[in-house]
């Protein structure tokens, strides 16, 4: 029972943050929904804490609002040492497609320069279609194998212990080549977002 309450509180906090960022950007719910290519009722449910966005939806919302995905996540206490225990974070679908693979956001909140996710893929799971976001991304394969496709680049397959870096504003997608798959994905926020947050570069 406690876990269900915690999940609802997380959804509520995320929805409240999303609404605050949208309002600050001067966007109506309808205009944000159009920019992020989602339905307005779905956005309304997110802002009211009734549903959580998938990882790909979170990135589309961040792109539309011109912020980093971290800025849409609930704040966490500022500390010099952040410890994430096994099982503390809930897995979220990586896309809105049926049978989507799951991702656990291990680190990522306003004020952080990194977002760290554990991608979990079972047989038949979908990793979604092409997507892009500002910043850069690094993948490290912990289990199984995965193929990375970047627009206008040859596909690259990664096995256990392999890793890859790429600018994440290039449209990209992942395809699971062997199941089960477990990948650590580390994303940095865009330089523009850092400058806007700190006031540098103005």
% of the chain exceeding 90 in pLDDT: 43
97 & 39 share domain = no
* Nearest residue to 61 (alpha-carbon basis) of 133, 116, 119: 133
Beta-sheet pairing, 172-188 with 156-158: unpaired
Q: Is 199 left (phi over 0), alpha (psi -120 to 50) or beta?
A: left
Burial label, 169 (beta-carbon count in 10 A; 0-12, 13-18, 19+):
middle
Tell me the average pLDDT across 118-127: 92
Q: What is the 3-state secondary structure (H, E, C) of 187-200?
A: EECCHHHHHHHHCC
What is the domain count for the chain?
A: 2
Q: Are residues 130 and 103 in the same domain?
A: yes
Q: Are residues 136 and 164 in the same domain?
A: yes
Q: Cβ-count burial of 91 within 10 angstroms (0-12 exposed, 13-18 middle, 19+ buried)?
A: middle
Q: Do 54 and 98 belong to one domain?
A: no
Residues 99, 139 within the same domain: yes
Domain annotation covers residue 173? yes
The pLDDT confidence band at residue 59, using thresholds 50, 70 and 90, is confident
DSSP class of 88: -
Find out whether 62 and 22 touch, Cβ atoms under 8 Å. no
pTM: 0.72
Q: What is the CATH number of the domain that holds 159?
A: 2.60.120.10
pLDDT at 196 > cutoff 90: no
Q: Is residue 150 part of a domain?
A: yes
Residue 83 lies in a domain: no
Q: Is residue 86 part of a domain?
A: no
Higher pLDDT, residue 84 or 28: 28
What CATH number does the domain containing 53 carry?
A: 1.10.260.40
Determine the pLDDT at residue 72.
84
Q: What is the mean pLDDT of residues 47-73?
A: 86
Decide if pLDDT at 46 tops 70.
Answer: yes
Q: Is residue 198 part of a domain?
A: no
- Residue 137 makes CB contacts below 8 A (sequence gap 6+) with 165, 166, 167, 168, 172, 185, 186, 187, 188
**Alpha carbon distance 13, 173 (integer Å):** 29
Residue 196 domain-assigned (yes or no): no
Is 98 a domain residue?
yes
**Residue-level pLDDT at 40:** 93
Least confident range from 2-6, 116-120, 197-201: namely 2-6
Q: Are residues 46 and 107 in the same domain?
A: no
* Same domain, yes or no: 107 and 184: yes
Decide if 78 is inside a domain: no
Work out the average pLDDT over 153-178. Answer: 93
pLDDT at 111: 67
Range picked from 73-77, 140-144, 166-170 for highest mean pLDDT:
140-144
Domain coverage including residue 36? 2-72
- Averaged confidence pLDDT in the chain: 82
């Amino acid at each position: 029972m406690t876990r269900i309450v915690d999940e609802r509180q997380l959804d509520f906090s995320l929805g409240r943050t999303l609404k605050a960022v949208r309002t600050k950007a001067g966007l109506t719910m309808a205009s944000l929904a159009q920019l992020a290519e989602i339905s307005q009722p779905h956005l309304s449910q997110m802002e009211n804490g009734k549903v959580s966005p998938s990882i790909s939806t979170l990135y589309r919302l961040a792109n539309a609002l011109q912020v980093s995905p971290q800025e849409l996540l609930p704040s966490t206490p500022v500390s010099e040492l952040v410890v994430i225990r096994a099982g503390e974070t809930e897995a979220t679908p990586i896309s809105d497609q049926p049978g989507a693979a799951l991702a656990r956001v291990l680190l990522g909140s306003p004020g952080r320069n990194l977002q760290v996710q554990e991608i979990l893929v079972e047989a038949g799971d979908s990793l979604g279609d092409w997507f892009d976001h500002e910043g850069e991304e690094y993948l490290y394969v912990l289990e199984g194998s995965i193929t990375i496709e970047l627009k206008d680049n040859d596909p690259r397959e990664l096995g256990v212990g392999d890793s890859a870096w790429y600018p994440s504003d290039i449209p990209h997608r992942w395809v699971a080549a062997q199941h089960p798959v477990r990948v650590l994905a580390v994303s940095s926020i865009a330089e523009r977002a850092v400058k806007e947050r700190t006031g540098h570069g103005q």
